[in-house]
Structure 1
């Protein structure tokens, strides 16, 4: 009897996202491995629909699923909620806030965080959309802006509150711009009768000549026209050079007066990577072999947004989307098993299943091989794909019901401003911001009257 069959290998998977989840599923099919999935949250978050939480379309629990529930039928897979603090590669010990955790094989799939590219003020004042908490913060902020603007006598302040700047014209930025426009034109238009449609400005800021870089030109052109139809103002070939509490400055010198900046322009590897003493490459991602493991520590694999597979000087990476993370997670698990079995490891090669993005109601773009689909049928395709990838049968049913209700009645059902410890209104994320001049005098006078 081999050592592999007589004694279970201890496998640790860091991260319960797409890469970590699919890696665990591969090990769940095999004997001889005891797997522990570690994450700081006890749930898997379906990030492709996170923008709908931020635009009052869904609740976060409708796109989340308990990790323990996912592993319930995988008898060799366990879950542990912990925060990673470091890694001892020589001793094969993971350092965490619950103590040291030993492993025989490790898969790091901790995902990514927002990259602000060093733009002054961006991290402090702009909103990111990478977690359920951030999505709720954005929803609270957007709805609160309308509540404040409804009774704001100062036109300048009113304009700031009703101007929304979205930085980044990729799928997330485009989908959120479309969802926000639909929210404004339907539910909020009826809720806030004192506000005119023309008072609201939604601006999409993108460095390229249009949205959805990387998509075929036909689909990009359609998306651009569709955004214009939704009254989304495209600021293309523009870069943000500074973000402040009440305005942003573009490279052209133009200044946009706003208290809402949503940053979707880029990502970088999870900050935990810096604590692990690993080789880091572009965008703080961990450099690996084409087989997704470390050259000096072959029992350590990296998958998902955090991985930077290199074939010599050439990156072997796919787009930072769920299918890429799923494929890398599954391959990392298979290659780790191959390593223990002494068989050849397979290099990663991304299989492109297509790209898609929705742009408001009944509209989307889909690129599947030679097929380039736009409009209603693309939108139906987008709905089906996202429902299939969503974890949990109950979640699929609830999301489908929500989408059906919204489609039939032009109504967003989650227009709630939830209590939170930190108020983001009326000055964005800067609680310490103190207005000056006429604006400060107006606010102080109003505060005195209210008391």
Structure 2
């Protein structure tokens, strides 16, 4: 790398970090992209890995593969442990140090268990490939165990599934598991009946898909209930144990639990010694910088930024992508921070899939549901995948599933049984 050029250190290989690096891949700067893992993960489709619809490689791309042909972009697989704003240096877990002229933090978020972090052992979230494979393994192992138990009462726990959180991830997960349990895989287990399965979607508030128009929320709820999902509203979780979950005094015995109830920012943000909100996000300026600095940016799920109405921007992929593009262009142009227009987020819509040919969507003021919404959802998600290979593979898998109702990635590798 050219030592005469300014150095931009980007922390995080998610949507925001990759977006920044893409804007700078031909700029007159050195870019160092730091991430704990060696791959970019398309998290919106992670639940499909967990439900055996897609393979991990379908939704992940090695970061070095994305930027390999650009000489000014360097990839470092490591974890940031310290940030020294005075010396403009970050310290990595390996002990190495990196100097920066610009620092962009896009470390993402993690699931929030609201002070009960021990729950994560039994009810994993869906933030990493490892999480998704663990959930997939639990589902498949439970079906195998249930198939070997002749007594219907004794095998009931293995045929129960509980998803905590009624946001898009929880809704999509519940719908996918309902399809697995009541249609897709059950035909291969001769001693089991689809009627034996129970799928619960648990939400502490009074409705699912909060933030969506009310009629779409109700449509999603109705579709899920038709698929056999039991939706428990106003039902806060009080305890999670290895053999089940306690919800408002009621205990549901099952080993199959998934947490999708809330997120908090990466703990790395605390190293900035800046003002944070109750979710641990850095409160940034209109230019996405830390107050008092002109060269430290925080974007994506780790940033508390507001729209024109003063409302916090949601932790969605489109927000992170637009933030990354804004910051990348700002650095590339080299203008003083006080001479550029503030960040403006263009809301292009929100959507959630419920199951095969079922989805709800709000796009540019228009709302729709059903098959058309599902087609739009499929198109947009394929479009935002990185790499033509991944796009083709996902399209092929979805087409195969739509025509045959069969999910192909049903391998048990021992991730659960080895514990």
Q: TM-score range by the shorter chain?
A: over 0.9
Q: Which structure 2 residues correspond to residues 200-215 of structure 1 after superposition, within 5 A?
A: 200-215=197-212
Counterpart in 1 of 2:270?
Answer: 274
Q: Provide structure 1 residue ranges, at least 5 long, that are not aligned to the other structure.
A: 425-430, 432-451
**Superposed CA offset, 1:295-329 (max 9, x none):** 12321100000011369xx9653211110110111
Q: Which segment is superposed worse, 228-237 or 268-277?
A: 268-277
Contact map agreement 2:89 2:98 (CA 8 A) in 1: yes
Structure with max Cα Rg: 1
| Number of the residue aligned with 2:139 | 142
More displaced 10-residue stretch of structure 1: 148-157 or 205-214: 148-157
- For residues 118 and 91 of structure 2, the distance between their equivalents in structure 1, rounded to whole angstroms, comes to 33
1:70 equivalent in structure 2: 66
Q: Which of 286, 291, 310 is equivalent to 1:290? A: 286
Is 2:231 the partner of 1:237? no
Query: Which whole-Å CA distance do the structure 2 matches of 1:316 and 1:123 have between them?
Result: 30
Q: Deviations over 1:24-47 (max 9, x none)?
A: 11112422x111111111111000
Cα pair 2:12 2:35 within 8 Å, conserved: yes
Q: Secondary structure at the match of 1:414?
A: coil
Q: TM-score, with normalisation over the residues of structure 1?
A: 0.88
Change over 3 Å in CA distance of 1:230–1:34 after alignment to 2 = same
1:396 Cα offset (Å): 0.5
C-alpha distance in 1 between matches for 2:311 and 2:340: 15
Q: How many angstroms apart in 2 are the aligned matches of 1:351 and 1:325?
A: 12
Asked whether the 8 Å contact 2:305–2:313 carries over to 1, the reply is no
Asked if the contact 1:116/1:266 (under 8 Å) is kept, the reply is: yes
TM-score for both structures, normalised by structure 2: 0.94
Describe the shift of the 1:120–1:27 C-alpha distance in structure 2 as closer, same or farther (beyond 3 A): closer
User: Are positions 1:216 and 2:198 aligned together?
Assistant: no
Give the distance between the partners of 2:187 and 2:337, measured in 1 at CA.
65
- For residues 380-406 of structure 1, the C-alpha deviation after alignment (integer angstroms, 9 at most, x for no partner) is 111100000011100000111100110
Distance of aligned partners of 1:315 and 1:256 in 2 relative to their CA distance in 1, 3 Å threshold: farther
SS across alignment from 2:305: strand
What is the CA distance between 1:128 and its match in structure 2?
1.0
> 1:444: which partner in 2?
none
Task: Measure how far apart 1:333 and its partner are.
Answer: 2.3
Asked if 1:21 is matched to 2:32, the reply is no
Cα offset, 1:126, TM superposition: 1.1
Shift of 1:120: 7.2
Q: How does 1:289-368 map to 2 (within 5 A)?
A: 289-309=285-305, 317-337=312-332, 341=336, 344-368=339-363
For 1:234-273, what aligned pairs fall within 5 Å after superposition? Answer: 234-251=231-248, 253-273=249-269
Tell me, what secondary structure is at the counterpart of 2:130? helix
- Relative to structure 2, which stretch is displaced further, 339-348 or 382-391? 339-348
Give the 3-state SS of the residue equivalent to 2:190 in structure 1: coil
Tell me if 1:97 matches 2:93.
yes
- Residues 87, 277 of structure 1: 8 Å contact kept: no
Corresponding position: 1:408 with 2:403 = yes
Q: Distance in 2 between matches of 1:353 and 1:154?
A: 51
Which residue, 177, 181, 194 being the options, matches 1:180?
A: 177
**Gap change, CA 1:170 and 1:326, over 3 Å in 2:** same
CA distance in 1: counterparts of 2:310 and 2:328, whole angstroms? 21
Question: Cα deviations across residues 186-212 of structure 1 (Å, max 9, x unaligned)?
Answer: 332111111111211000001232221
Deviation at 1:339, TM superposition (A): 5.8
Distance 1:206 1:135 in 2: 21
CA distance in 1, matches of 2:336, 2:27: 12
Determine the C-alpha separation between the residues in 2 that align with 1:42 and 1:120. 26
